[in-house]
Homo-oligomer: A and B are copies of this chain.
């Protein structure tokens, strides 16, 4: 399709934008430091003058986003006052809308989970009812958490793709019948009264890493989301890559095994058809490692999870066939990762997602070496491979982080004037 798209012109910037941006830069520096920073250290790090740091610090203190947390003086002279994030300065609500379970979290400013809950995603094909249920659960969660409602910056929703970022809709997700182009963002915003953001689950996970993942969440990296499917979130130079419509990170049809099983796309050995949990479980059943009990049927998410866990137990117990299936999947996944890292030349790959706990040990043993071997830039720099520190609620945590990121992260977009 060759449609005409009028170029969205570059916008200028002005003083207030600059001030706001510098504020977020300083907040970001404090956030990324483990134990807080003094004003002098901040001046060195962000390159602004000490006075500017002082002024902005005051604004941040007034907004209760940071606090003065003691002093640190080892030498002579006035000790430095340490500035730290005030965890209770702001909160965000996150919802991970998954076909099987819907997870809710309330996050504080440092990215810690204040309260979380989980419900089975209501079935049926009536999105309006589901949205009402979700809104009710959010209200309940916020009430129980005891958080001051005025300090809640907003609501983030992580949904399975594809989505339409501009309109805040989910577009025909495979496992949610009747959800074609439901205006999820606007409906939830109205039902909860919170300003709402919708994004893809894998994108949200990557944002969780930048916000709550520590040092591995900075710079340029790819977040490999190991869930029911495999997707990735992309962060380049500390800024998220969402794509034109918010659908970046669709890697399910990268061919990783020329000898693999046929895929619905017409090729063979795609990621989607050769290394997602459902396929590995099926392989295990066929090889006789797992019973053909509840695993093979409709493929309910929890059943897959159970069978997948059993596969790893078998491998742990010494079943070499099970180990082989898993290790082979590591090889395949590493090939997909290599395609992405070679295309984008990132410095790090972060693994995470609901199934990562099971995979981590074996994958981290094998993938770094495999990746090194197929990296186009291996003569210039290595590629760090790590597992995320954010736990299994990464989808919902990431959803809440969408709000924090949108409100407080130093995005260069923030500098530009709006249309």
Contact = CB atoms under 8 A, between A and B. Distances in A.
Nearest to A419: B47
A60 interface: no
Interface residues of A, number: 94
A368 B2 contact: yes
B258 A347 contact: no
Contact of A10 (B28, B52, B234, B419): B28
Contact of A241 (B253, B255, B335, B344): B344
Contacts of A215: 7
Interface string A53-68: 0000000000000000
Given A46-B417, A417-B47, A243 B345 contact: yes
Contact of A247 (B1, B250, B380, B384): B380
A230 B340 CA distance: 16
A287 interface: no
Interface in A10-63: 10-15, 18, 21-22, 25-26, 28-29, 32, 45-48, 52
A258 B250 contact: no
Nearest to A345: B243
Report how many copies the assembly holds.
Answer: 2
Contacts of A11: 25, 46-47
Interface string A361-384: 000000010001010110111111
Given A265-B374, A376-B162, A410-B10, A2 B386 contact: yes
A122 interface: no
Given A25-B12, A244-B220, A251 B343 contact: yes
A364 to B, nearest CB: 9
Given A47-B419, A232-B343, A245 B381 contact: yes
A374 B25 CA distance: 40
Contacts of A251: 339, 342-343
Nearest to A43: B12
Contacts of A248: 343-345
Given A255-B255, A258-B267, A268-B258, A245 B345 contact: yes
A246 interface: yes
B9 A32 contact: yes
B162 A379 contact: yes
Given A7-B215, A9-B32, A242-B345, 19 more contacts: A3-B381, A5-B347, A7-B32, A9-B45, A47-B418, A162-B376, A234-B343, A243-B377, A246-B345, A247-B376, A248-B343, A248-B345, A250-B377, A251-B339, A251-B342, A255-B255, A258-B260, A258-B269, A340-B343
